[in-house]
A and B are shown apart, each in its own frame.
Chain A
């Protein structure tokens, strides 16, 4: 098992990792129920943002390029999917296909321009593109995006393909359905979950492929690669497009489980969020981004929901004075203060575990399975995985 967690590159450990991952994902509703997170909407969000972060990790973790504009692709995917619902059919497969396609086209255009620069200049360029996309969606392109209100389905939509097959959704607004299975609640989660597993598998294949090695080489020393005669540009562009399509897929899935697309999905804070997810979990590791996505979404949805009344109830076994003091202190960190807690967690992880949560796991595993003197030498390669770029 430790080999699996340490990211050992044998075929067998990859399969174990994939199977274990699949089991955890598919049993998600049972595993997360004790933490208050076992309800469909949050589970869907875990899966969707997991996909987003896995894709982002191919660019940040593997290639070492920090993009601050990936939310733009998420937004493009969402808008495309909703338009596919409106114009063609409520089938999610069709919507996801177009979402990935259009996000890919966007990624080619943006990547082609942004990848002319590296480091902070690349980050700023992508940020600028994302902010432009946000403003376009928020006001300029209102006829396409419906501005601030967000793009919604309506009873008057043509839905050409559905109409062709004589599908009628009645007077109520339709929900997306996969050949008769409605994509809400648990079926919606399992649809996202299966796609997450496929996305995870593809990411393993990319990590282990010669293409993945080239991306790693780009991260470690691009000059050297150029000197030995390798043109790195096409590889970087492909990595950028792949991660953009992952983002488009995630955006499309958001629209599948909840057919509405809003502009704030493309805001720069949303781009920053996926960076945080990847770094929190461990950039460059297979599992890390998914873990990071889970933690951030958990804080956003569960910690923000705690209020003083709830805390009072929780600590009702304490004497009154102590109870009130404790609640007064704790309420700073929950409810509207959830950002504070998230900030502290992020700070602690970056300071003490620069490689993210996965480095924590690695240290734990080393602690229990290696003799102490060997453990020290094992830490050196772990430290290399820092996402300093």
Chain B
């Protein structure tokens, strides 16, 4: 055993050693040399092109993730000309012309994909996306569930120079203050949910209501609460209180009891996933819906619905209003084609998460096909202000100013007499796109320049 911990000599030696390592460390710069040979990152050279499907396979949103992955695999299949082609048959441009995609891959290259697990954590999601970009050579990353993950991965794709087609993300920030030139969102957002819900709620429940908000205590909850408040107050409603609840609380009884003692006659649950299932079920168990306040029947509202959640909540969703991006019971040609091929493949109807991911994959592929290249900046140019139809939501615009899709928003209600376990929501109103469109400046943020990654 040595007696002294540090002698002058050891310090000198250590210093010399460190310098040597530092010098050795600067040697391997030849590694990055090859990156300059391409004129954009991960330019596909062989007969295939690889896409990255980055979805939560474990963690609280694993159900949504599994459904997204199913849809993305289906999209890859259809792009390669296998299966019945799904929405490739209904996808049309503004002028009614059919999509440039011909079932022969993208730009003549067969579509391959790699998968990853985001764990619904931004760190894990970025690690997984980085693996796809650095090790697997993907030109595009899609998927995700949760806005935090979407914003984090979008930032990464911007820095590294690939395209990000976000999946399920509902926060205003994704195309608001955190928007990026290389990132695109087909899904709707909190603002559009609020804009669609406000008038419908006023019609159904009157204009002199008092609302009580329970809000998931994180970014998505805040933006949803803010938007719903804004639009219900515009209809004449008052807001009694807005209470933040911890994420994943499990038991919401301590938050629901004060609602009974307030003079509110509507409860708005800005919750998602398991939280929504729990809080809604408990609100119903507490008998809120049977109560009379101020001479009016008490009501509950869930701003963001998904079929997977509604199934989880069971009978509790009956008669409860909310908004959704897409629903499998829609009877336009695109939705029918998608539901049919998804059903044939997996034996049950797709969720809205599956739909938005499938559509994003198709939109990306189509933009590459029209651009004739996978170069990110060229794809960005094709997608900005692109108008299309036949993908299940009616005529849609990919707005260039913030990369947000504008389309009709569905207001849905829990079905009173469901015919099957999947038939839990009914569409009560399709809010036209003009009513949910907003000025891109209101959320701040900048797109910045596009990045080719070299």
Is there contact, CB below 8 Å, between A148 and B147? yes
A171-B449, A172-B449 in contact; A190/B1 too (CB < 8 A)? no
Is there contact, CB below 8 Å, between B130 and A171? no
A300 contacts across to B, CB distance below 8 A = 124, 127
Among B18, B26, B62, B147, point to the contact of A149 (Cβ < 8 A): B147
**Chain B 51-63 interface 0/1 with A at a Cβ cutoff of 8 Å (1 = within):** 0000001100010
Among A29, A150, A172, A173, point to the contact of B148 (Cβ < 8 A): A150
Is there contact, CB below 8 Å, between B25 and A26? yes
A121 beta carbon closer than 8 Å to chain B: no
**In the complex, chain B residues 188-234 whose Cβ is within 8 Å of any chain A Cβ:** 217-220, 222
CB B244 to nearest CB in A, in angstroms, measures 7
Instruction: Determine the distance from Cα of A185 to Cα of B135 in the docked complex, in whole angstroms.
Output: 11
Among B5, B128, B151, point to the contact of A209 (Cβ < 8 A): B5
B36 beta carbon closer than 8 Å to chain A: no
**Number of chain B residues whose Cβ lies closer than 8 Å to a Cβ of chain A:** 60
B219 contacts across to A, CB distance below 8 A = 142, 146-149
Is there contact, CB below 8 Å, between B178 and A194? no
Query: Closest residue to B18 on the A side, CB-wise?
Result: A198
Among A42, A149, A265, point to the contact of B131 (Cβ < 8 A): A42
B247 beta carbon closer than 8 Å to chain A: yes
Query: Closest residue to B445 on the A side, CB-wise?
Result: A154
Is there contact, CB below 8 Å, between B114 and A305? yes
Is there contact, CB below 8 Å, between A185 and B121? no
A-B CB contacts (within 8 Å), total count: 152
Among A9, A135, A173, point to the contact of B159 (Cβ < 8 A): A173
Instruction: Determine the distance from Cα of A19 to Cα of B151 in the docked complex, in whole angstroms.
Output: 42
A26-B24, A135-B246 in contact; A258/B218 too (CB < 8 A)? no
Is there contact, CB below 8 Å, between A260 and B126? yes
A39 beta carbon closer than 8 Å to chain B: yes
Query: Closest residue to B1 on the A side, CB-wise?
Result: A9
**In the complex, chain A residues 26-49 whose Cβ is within 8 Å of any chain B Cβ:** 26, 29, 36, 39-42, 45
Which of A150, A210, A335 is most buried by chain B, counting CB atoms within 10 A of its CB?
A150
A45-B127, A149-B148, A262-B122 in contact; A304/B158 too (CB < 8 A)? no
CB B204 to nearest CB in A, in angstroms, measures 32
A187-B32, A262-B122 in contact; A36/B152 too (CB < 8 A)? no
Is there contact, CB below 8 Å, between B32 and A186? yes
CB B155 to nearest CB in A, in angstroms, measures 6
**Number of chain A residues whose Cβ lies closer than 8 Å to a Cβ of chain B:** 60
Instruction: Determine the distance from Cα of A11 to Cα of B5 in the docked complex, in whole angstroms.
Output: 11
A172 contacts across to B, CB distance below 8 A = 448-449, 451
CB A275 to nearest CB in B, in angstroms, measures 18
Query: Closest residue to A304 on the B side, CB-wise?
Result: B117
B123 beta carbon closer than 8 Å to chain A: yes
Is there contact, CB below 8 Å, between A39 and B26? no
Instruction: Determine the distance from Cα of A186 to Cα of B32 in the docked complex, in whole angstroms.
Output: 7
Is there contact, CB below 8 Å, between B122 and A150? yes
Is there contact, CB below 8 Å, between B28 and A190? yes
A339 beta carbon closer than 8 Å to chain B: yes
A267 contacts across to B, CB distance below 8 A = 121
**In the complex, chain B residues 117-158 whose Cβ is within 8 Å of any chain A Cβ:** 117, 121-124, 126-128, 130-131, 134-135, 146-148, 151-152, 155-156, 158
Is there contact, CB below 8 Å, between B134 and A148? no
Among B32, B147, B449, point to the contact of A185 (Cβ < 8 A): B32
Instruction: Determine the distance from Cα of A40 to Cα of B14 in the docked complex, in whole angstroms.
Output: 27
CB B135 to nearest CB in A, in angstroms, measures 4
A366 contacts across to B, CB distance below 8 A = none
A335 contacts across to B, CB distance below 8 A = 57, 115, 117
Among B2, B134, B178, point to the contact of A41 (Cβ < 8 A): B134
Is there contact, CB below 8 Å, between A305 and B128? yes
Is there contact, CB below 8 Å, between B18 and A150? no
Instruction: Determine the distance from Cα of A242 to Cα of B186 in the docked complex, in whole angstroms.
Output: 48
A314 beta carbon closer than 8 Å to chain B: no
B1 contacts across to A, CB distance below 8 A = 9, 208
A148-B147, A305-B115 in contact; A41/B127 too (CB < 8 A)? yes
A208-B5, A262-B152 in contact; A22/B131 too (CB < 8 A)? no
**Chain B 16-44 interface 0/1 with A at a Cβ cutoff of 8 Å (1 = within):** 01100110111011011001000000000
B442 contacts across to A, CB distance below 8 A = none
B12 beta carbon closer than 8 Å to chain A: no
A205 beta carbon closer than 8 Å to chain B: yes
Is there contact, CB below 8 Å, between B173 and A149? yes
**In the complex, chain A residues 246-288 whose Cβ is within 8 Å of any chain B Cβ:** 254, 258, 260, 262, 264-265, 267
CB A172 to nearest CB in B, in angstroms, measures 6
Query: Closest residue to B112 on the A side, CB-wise?
Result: A309
Among A148, A185, A301, point to the contact of B128 (Cβ < 8 A): A301
Instruction: Determine the distance from Cα of A193 to Cα of B18 in the docked complex, in whole angstroms.
Output: 11
Is there contact, CB below 8 Å, between B152 and A150? yes
A193 contacts across to B, CB distance below 8 A = 25
Which of B6, B25, B32, B246 is most buried by chain A, counting CB atoms within 10 A of its CB?
B25
Instruction: Determine the distance from Cα of A339 to Cα of B246 in the docked complex, in whole angstroms.
Output: 26
A138-B247, A262-B121, A338-B117 in contact; A186/B31 too (CB < 8 A)? yes
A226 beta carbon closer than 8 Å to chain B: no
B334 beta carbon closer than 8 Å to chain A: no
Instruction: Determine the distance from Cα of A190 to Cα of B58 in the docked complex, in whole angstroms.
Output: 32
Among B2, B116, B446, B448, point to the contact of A305 (Cβ < 8 A): B116
A175-B159, A185-B32 in contact; A148/B148 too (CB < 8 A)? yes
CB A299 to nearest CB in B, in angstroms, measures 11
Instruction: Determine the distance from Cα of A336 to Cα of B135 in the docked complex, in whole angstroms.
Output: 20
A338 contacts across to B, CB distance below 8 A = 117
Among A22, A205, A265, point to the contact of B21 (Cβ < 8 A): A22
Query: Closest residue to A213 on the B side, CB-wise?
Result: B1
CB A79 to nearest CB in B, in angstroms, measures 13
Is there contact, CB below 8 Å, between B21 and A155? no
Query: Closest residue to B151 on the A side, CB-wise?
Result: A149
A187 contacts across to B, CB distance below 8 A = 26, 29, 32
CB A159 to nearest CB in B, in angstroms, measures 16
Is there contact, CB below 8 Å, between B28 and A29? yes
Is there contact, CB below 8 Å, between A41 and B131? yes
Instruction: Determine the distance from Cα of A186 to Cα of B29 in the docked complex, in whole angstroms.
Output: 7
Among B22, B155, B159, B218, point to the contact of A148 (Cβ < 8 A): B218
Is there contact, CB below 8 Å, between B21 and A29? no
B178 contacts across to A, CB distance below 8 A = 149, 152
Query: Closest residue to A201 on the B side, CB-wise?
Result: B14
18 additional A-B residue pairs with CB within 8 Å, beyond A148-B148, A301-B127: A139-B218, A150-B148, A155-B448, A172-B448, A173-B155, A173-B158, A181-B26, A185-B32, A187-B32, A190-B28, A194-B22, A205-B5, A205-B6, A262-B123, A305-B117, A305-B128, A335-B117, A336-B57
A-B contact pairs, 22 of them (CB 8 A): A18-B17, A41-B130, A42-B131, A150-B148, A155-B446, A155-B448, A173-B155, A173-B448, A185-B35, A187-B29, A190-B28, A208-B2, A258-B126, A260-B122, A260-B126, A262-B121, A262-B122, A262-B123, A264-B121, A305-B131, A307-B115, A335-B117
- 4 closest Cβ contacts across the A-B interface? A336-B57, A41-B130, A190-B25, A148-B218
